[in-house]
Amino acid sequence: MTRASKQPNTSSPGFQFDAVVIGTGPGGEGAAMQLSKAGKQVAVIERHESVGGGCTHWGTIPSKALRHSVSRLIEYNANPLFNDGDRSRHLTFSEILKHASAVIRKQSRLRGSFYDRNGVRIFHGEASFIDAHTIRITREDGSIDQLTTNQVILATGSRPYTPKDIDFSHPRIYNSDSILSLKHDPKSVIIYGAGVIGSEYASIFRGMGVKVDLVNMRDRLLSFLDAEISDALSYHLWNNGVMIRHNEMYQAVEGRDDCVILHLESGKKMRADCLLFANGRTGNTDMLNLSAIGLKADSRGQLKVDDNYRTEVDNIYAVGDVIGYPSLASAAYNQGRFAAQAMLSGQCPTSLVEDIPTGIYTIPEISSVGKTEQELTAQKVPYEVGRAQFMHLARAQIANTQVGSLKILFHRDSKKILGIHCFGERASEIVHIGQAIMQQDGDANNIEYFVNTTFNYPTMAEAYRVAAINGLNRIF
């Protein structure tokens, strides 16, 4: 059954909508809101029942809510005010997930209200192209909508990479989406893939007292990080009992009724109650019928775009995970806004900042912005390092969050801030103080700002003053 949707006339003659956005994650939301506020008739298409995309339902929000709950559980069990030490509190994965589910519902309702308030029409179903201006929407009941539009923006996100030789329908084999449906209480887990997602879940499961084997295909964890920060994460995972195996590749995954056995190319075998496969992601482009418009995604399901986020088809734009780097929810929202500006005016007047902050929600957290020591050394930049250990900060002592440190990299001569790296509780918040100064022009970007500014006491922000003094003391 096909039915044409009746819509009011718009400023794009002959089309039902000025723009159709496919996907309601951060990128799609940013684009839809920007276009709607400019007076355009906008529709969004979402394949699932609720808006928010993978960020809200399977990725960023649930994993961070899980991490927060596990962190509080660790604090409770370690705090003599609440625990006399005789018996630790134990919660199952499904019990902890209840908090995450509540957050997801709140976020989805909130995001849905944005579309209602701005007059953006929401269609639910699977989108595919008939031609560059016509989109078919196939609903779950088999009915079909057909929309015409002047412009299209693809914000379809990504999904976990799932090799065909692994049976992900097995009740003990999971990817980073399906792990949220874990019902039993595992005593051991193998995590294959030690990237951001794998490292985060290794922290979560170990914090729950689960035996964790983390299999890494490279020779160090998160090699894009500053080496000291990567080493700190490796040490704390190891110190907490995570078994990390570097430079290993899987040969086969054997799912049994009572366990999973991972066969490695090196000849090793590993056994656990369940396996989480977290090795890469694939862009959600395979269902779009891109061949109908002359577009082709690469082997990772990603599309090429120009500086204005325009694909090789003039009226079709793409943002977020489907275009690759940086594949961050925070960046995707801005990409959506920038693409909308290009759709409105012909070109994008702004772009993402050069130094994009990263937040990695392991336990403890990691966050950084700017250059690493290794990059500056390779570029022969004369830099110096300022450090502050959290154990020396009164606020950290009060909160008993003394693990971690702040590191500021700055130019020896100009004192310009070149990089900020933080490891410890609330790192993803702390890093933005330094980012704000680092983004200033000219002499305003200077490490001496932190020495001459008065910080509230006691705060974690005080780490900047301590690190700045430490670094400037090294200058001679």
Q: How far apart are CA 114 and CA 122, in angstroms?
A: 11
Which residue type is seen at 55?
A: C
Q: H/E/C letters for each residue in the chain?
A: CEEECCCCCCCCCCCCEEEEEECCCHHHHHHHHHHHHCCCCEEEEECCCCCCHHHHHCCHHHHHHHHHHHHHHHHHHHCCCCCCCCCCCCCCHHHHHHHHHHHHHHHHHHHHHHHHHCCCEEEECEEEEEECCEEEEECCCCCEEEEEEEEEEECCCEEECCCCCCCCCCCCEEECCHHHHCCCCCCEEEEECCCHHHHHHHHHHHHCCCEEEEECCCCCCCCCCCHHHHHHHHHHHHHCCCEEECCCCEEEEEECCCCEEEEECCCCEEEECEEEECCCEEECCCCCCHHHHCCCCCCCCCCCCCCCCECCCCCEEECHHHHCCCCCHHHHHHHHHHHHHHHHHCCCCCCCCCCCCEEECCCCCEEEEECCHHHHHHCCCCEEEEEEEHHHCHHHHHHCCCCEEEEEEEECCCCCEEEEEEEECCHHHHHHHHHHHHCCCHHHCCCHHHHHCCCCCCCCCCHHHHHHHHHHCCCC
Q: Do 254 and 201 have their domain in common?
A: yes
Confidence at residue 86, expressed as pLDDT on a 0 to 100 scale:
63
Nearest Cα to 273, choosing from 339, 358, 205? 205
Query: Do 374 and 334 share a structural domain?
Result: no
The pLDDT tens digits for 452-466 are: 999 999 999 999 999
Tell me: pLDDT of 474 over 80.
yes
**135 lies in some domain:** yes
Q: Is the dihedral of CA 471, 235, 93, 332 positive or negative?
A: positive
Q: Residue 171 phi/psi, 5° resolution?
A: -65, -5
230 lies in some domain = yes
Give tens-digit pLDDT for 32-79.
999 999 999 999 999 988 898 888 888 888 889 889 999 988 888 887
**Residue 413, both tokens:** 């001569």
450 and 399 in a common domain: yes
In a domain, 359, yes or no: no
Same domain, 20 and 119: yes
pLDDT digits (tens, 9 = 90+) for 158-177: 999 999 999 999 999 999 99
Task: Tell whether 212 is covered by a domain.
Answer: yes
Are residues 10 and 109 both part of a single domain? yes
Give the per-residue pLDDT at 115. 94
What's the whole-number mean pLDDT along residues 406-435?
97
Say if 401 falls within a structural domain: yes
Identify the pLDDT of residue 29.
96
Residues in the chain: 476
Q: Are residues 64 and 189 in the same domain?
A: no
Percent of the chain with pLDDT over 90: 78
pLDDT in tens, 310-362: 999 999 999 999 999 898 898 999 999 999 999 999 888 888 888 899 999 99
On whether both 261 and 402 belong to a single domain, the answer is no
* CA dist., res. 451 & res. 263, Å (int): 54
End-to-end CA distance of the chain: 78
Annotated binding site for FAD: 46-55, 64, 156-158, 321
pTM above 0.85, yes or no: yes
Per-residue pLDDT, 87: 65
Alpha-carbon gap, residue 373 to 378, rounded angstroms = 9
Please give the pLDDT value at position 215. Answer: 98
Mean pLDDT of 366-378: 98
Q: Beta 316-318 vs 243-245: how paired, if at all?
A: unpaired
Q: What is the pLDDT of residues 386-405, one digit of tens each?
A: 999 999 999 999 998 999 99
Q: What gap in Å lies between CA 262 and CA 442, rounded to an integer?
A: 54
pLDDT at 293: 97
Instruction: Report the CATH number that the domain containing residue 305 is assigned in CATH.
Output: 3.50.50.60
Q: Is residue 406 part of a domain?
A: yes
Please indicate, yes or no, whether residues 98 and 198 belong to a single structural domain of this protein: no
- Domain that includes residue 26, residue range: 2-160+282-345
Domain count, the chain: 3
Mean pLDDT over each residue of the chain, to the nearest integer: 92
Query: Which one has a higher pLDDT value, 86 or 380?
Result: 380
Binding-site sequence positions for NAD(+): 193-200, 280
| pLDDT of 92 over the 60 cut | yes
pLDDT single digits (tens) 264-297: 999 999 999 999 999 999 999 999 999 999 999 9
> Per the annotation, where are the binding residues?
46-55, 64, 156-158, 193-200, 280, 321
Return the pLDDT at 9. 40
- Together in a domain, 145 and 237: no
d(CA 59, CA 103): 13
Give dist(CA 148, CA 315) in Å, integer.
12
Give yes or no: residues 337 and 370 share one domain.
no
pLDDT at 11 over 60: no
pLDDT number for residue 3: 36
The predicted pLDDT at position 8 comes to 40
Residues 240 and 268 in one domain: yes
Report the distance separating Cα 96 and Cα 230, nearest Å.
Answer: 28
Within a domain: 167: no
Q: Do residue 15 and residue 152 come from a single domain? A: yes
Residue 114 included in any domain: yes
- pLDDT at residue number 189: 98
Q: What percent of the chain has pLDDT over 70?
A: 96
Select from 234, 258, 279 the last residue of a domain: 279
Q: Which pLDDT belongs to residue 77?
A: 84
Task: Tell me the per-residue pLDDT of 137-165, one tens digit each, with 9 for 90 and over.
Answer: 999 898 999 999 999 999 999 999 999 99
Of 279, 298, 325, the position where a domain reaches its end is 279
Domain termination site, one of 263, 279, 295 = 279
